[in-house]
Chains A and B, each alone.
Chain A
Amino acid sequence: MRLTLRVWRQKNTDAPGAMATYEVDGISKDMSFLEMLDTLNEKLILEGEDPVAFDHDCREGICGACSMVINGDAHGPERTTTCQLHMRSFADGDTIDVEPWRATAFPVVRDLVVDRSAFDRIIGAGGYISVPTGAAPEAHATPVPKADADYAFEHAECIGCGACVAACPNGSAMLFTSAKINHLNVLPQGAPERESRVLDMVATMDAEGFGGCTLTGECATACPKGIPLPSIAAMNKEWLRATRKAGKR
């Protein structure tokens, strides 16, 4: 395959950026999108140019690092991560636009790499359970109803990739935050911190400069792990419940 790539190039957070056009040849349809970018970078290095900086780690769809917007879609045309996207989703001769996640809370570090540490701070505000350390507890010591376990697992699938924020016209992190809150709030292990978790995580999400939710649904369409839109309604419910309880204290 022969492709024309238009890639966002930006030296650092404060430098202005622009789209740059490159031609790549000899792309196999079995390559992943990242391998295609590797091919481009090899060519750029040989030509003495700076390679395109992009985030990647596991390359098997579980770490959430490989953030980029391809032809206007977070992670490209398939509902998966960029590392799991294959070039057979494109046609020979295509022009492909590649841009970084766009959100004020995710500043561009360089080229396609953005700083997603705002997500870490949201997790730090309550995406954990406090337990005394020691030997691992017996697995069946705390029974969890099957339906709750499934619900928790569905939300635990979130890999923190940020595609939801990138796709949202408001740069909102509600889908991510709701996944993390619902995952722990439904479990007995998460119960002691149920109220402070949702209040603190939502407050941190706001403080990080993410937008609000207008129920556009772009996030859930973009999410590679299928976190559903009603998760946000469930988080709102938890938040309203927590404010009622906090008011009684």
Chain B
Amino acid sequence: MSALEELKKYEEYIYRCIHCKTCRMAYTDDPEKIYPENCPAGKKFEWEAFYNSGKMWILKAILEGELDWNERVAEIFYLCPTCGNCQQQCENDIPTVEIIEAVRAVCVEKGLGPLPRQKMFGELTAKYRNPYGEPHEKRLDWLPSDIRNSLPEKADVYYFVGCTASYRIQNVALATVSVLRKLGINFTISPDEWCCNSPLLRTGQLSLAKEYMQHNIDVIEKTGASVVITSCAGCYRTLKVDFPRFVGKYDFEVKHSVEFIYDLIQEGKLDPSKFKKINLVATYHDPCHYGRHIVLRMEDRKKKEEFFEVPRKIIEYLGIELREMRRIKADSWCCGAGGGVKAGAPDFALETAMERIKEALETGAQALLSACPFCYRNLTDAIKAMNAKLEFYDLIELLDKAIQ
């Protein structure tokens, strides 16, 4: 099926848009928490076209033959971190993220996309199996050689490290391994893991998707693991949501590392009262891919609430004083890095992250916490750019400190 035919499948939804503009706000349930601005693309570029509501009406014009596909259409659809706030807010159940991604695939098909730097990471991924263009054989270089050499072929748990933690934010990967070892988890990692394809899927570059996904499934299944842990919210979303979409069912359960620890506690296998308490006043940033993008696919209201409580419970177990920002959980303000924006429009990504840092600072917290190495990169870039007095930790780093 061509990308255009795939997009046409969404026609019914595109036409459902009543142009109510609710999708620019942060307002899931509680009017007391309403926040008038929660669309990073619209906030940055201001014109109606950049908000999701405008995007839907651009598509209507195209479908009705009143507007042609062109580079400007592509640009507008690419300058968006696909944070999913619009989909979260839309009461007409318009799958906006899927639509934006389907439009990007059409743009690729028509030679109008992706943005130049995104194209580059597509090429790098094809060549090196990761979008950073790092040598594939160095994927496990971050891991001390004694551990690397002792990784079993078969294990109960597979740790899917992801490209960002493998090549850039390695402290997250190291902390994860350290925690797993301290807990005596029978886990393994493969040097032959490939990019999960998230950056390519998000930018409409679909040609590698099936091959890469199937490869990763094969690698994981070879280990016999029944549980896969991810550090990266993007990998988490892709394995959980996109793998089944592109290559069908697989035979393991996918958990975020934070979720994995939380489940151990719930199952009585880990006693949080034994955690070394962390003396910190902190706030927590919900990554879009380990947040909204997942709950959007849940029917049960209670399950959604529980999902957002997982990192918060962990923070409580760690003895940290949590000071919430205004836009949290399903209404979270995006870090700005997703959807290919960090590579394609780095200034926009940074500006979006800076707004998050400002919000974090308003809480009076000394640290900002999150659970994604990609958010980590962008948010710490913003902290540096602003010279802000704010520490940053991935939850797994703090768990590593707390678990003896």
Do A and B pair up? The answer is no
Contact surface of B with A, Cβ cutoff 8 Å? none
Contact surface of A with B, Cβ cutoff 8 Å? none
